[in-house]
Amino acid sequence: MDEREVLTRFKAGVLERGQAVWLLVDRGRALDRGQQAAPDSLPVRGGSGTAPERPAPVKLWFCSDDELDSGLAVTLARHWLDEHEQEIAERFLFEDDRRQYLVAHALVRRVLALESGLPEAEAVIWRSRRGRPFLRRPARGLPRGGRELDFNLSHAGGYNLLGVVRRHRVGVDVERVDRGGQGLDAIIDTFAREERDWVAQAAPGRARDCRTLRLWTLKEAYSKARGLGLELPFDSFSFTLHEERGVLRFRPPETEEALPWRFLELEPEPGVLAAVALLDDAEVPSVLLLHHGFPWSREAPQELELPQTVS
């Protein structure tokens, strides 16, 4: 959760003051811990003169907090999370918030272990100067799967979504629809004019809430992929969406160079909306693999088409 989301959720009453303060303090302390090779800038498109590797698929893991009982989540956290992460977990006032944090970060470390070959407890996760988490690459490189690995995490309302990609940049976001209207007016106020008009055309209630959260998850996913935090106003770019699902058109910020992006909307569980943003180039695979549950086993994932987007 970046600064924008923390502040927006606090203003909307979704986060208590203490929760918001701790999350912002965590971000500041994480920035102080290290910025080695901090990937604030987007990856350079194109090859380095070597033969191109076969593009690895984009992978998503969708996992509810119920996948791990509280005792197991605490045990995994004790063995896998670093000292700083365990400190953060102890600060939460409510058990549900603590459990969400433990499950989400255990998921990150388990998936990074599967994808990189680094043991869960040995992965070193730092943040860029703008707060974007990244895996510190060992001097000898990653044991498995090539040199590059990018990941992004989102969690809300008992659900967690993690995206992993190689040699590209990914952003993800997940939200529950049944929020009781909490925070939606504050969210809508951050949108571009044409997006606010589109939301207002829907009948009040679930239809309007879904439009709002579809735009919000896409904007969060894009912002997190860019890694710009509060430096990227949400009204500086916009999405035109299909009535049911799918991005018809994307208007990037005027300050962005002409880079192509791909976006995917999905509903991994009824009443849960999610979005994926991926920096596009010729090597991006057209299929995304969606895994459900905590990754104890290698069950066959669901294959989803990753459509191209008109900018």
Q: pTM for the whole thing?
A: 0.85
pLDDT at 42: 67
User: Residue 93: pLDDT above 80?
Assistant: yes
Average pLDDT over the chain, rounded to an integer: 85
More reliable by pLDDT, 9 or 31: 9
Report, as an integer, the average pLDDT of 190-209: 96
The number of residues in the chain equals 311
Q: Is residue 46 a part of any domain in this protein?
A: no
Section 105-127 average pLDDT: 95
Instruction: Provide the 3-class DSSP secondary structure of residue 297.
Output: coil
What pLDDT is attached to residue 196?
Answer: 98
Q: Within a domain: residue 286? A: yes
Domain of 136 in residue numbering reads as: 3-39+55-305
Q: Which residues contact 163 (CB under 8 A, 6 or more apart)?
A: 58, 59, 60, 151, 152, 153, 170, 171, 172, 276
Domain with 145 in it: what CATH number? 3.90.470.20
Taking residue 129's Cβ as centre, other Cβ atoms within 10 Å add up to 11
In a domain, 281, yes or no: yes
Tell me whether residue 262 is in a domain: yes
Share of the chain above pLDDT 90, in %: 61
Whether residue 19 has pLDDT greater than 60: no
Tell me whether residue 47 is in a domain. no
Residue with the larger pLDDT of the pair 47 and 183: 183
pLDDT for res 17: 53
Whether residue 203 lies inside any domain: the answer is yes
Binned at pLDDT 50, 70 and 90, residue 50 comes out as very low
Q: Which pLDDT tens digit goes with each residue over 119-164?
A: 999 999 998 888 899 999 888 888 887 778 999 999 999 999 999 9
**Mean pLDDT, residues 162-167:** 91
Quote the pLDDT of residue 37: 47
* Residue 88 counted as domain residue: yes
**Whether residue 311 has pLDDT greater than 90:** no
Place of tokens 């470390």: 109
How many separate domains does the chain show?
1
- Residue 210: is its pLDDT beyond 60? yes
pLDDT digits (tens, 9 = 90+) for 260-290: 899 999 999 999 999 999 988 766 777 899 9
Rounded-to-integer distance, Cα 292 and Cα 63, Å: 6
Q: In this structure, is residue 310 part of a structural domain?
A: no
Determine contact, residues 244/257, Cβ cutoff 8 Å.
no
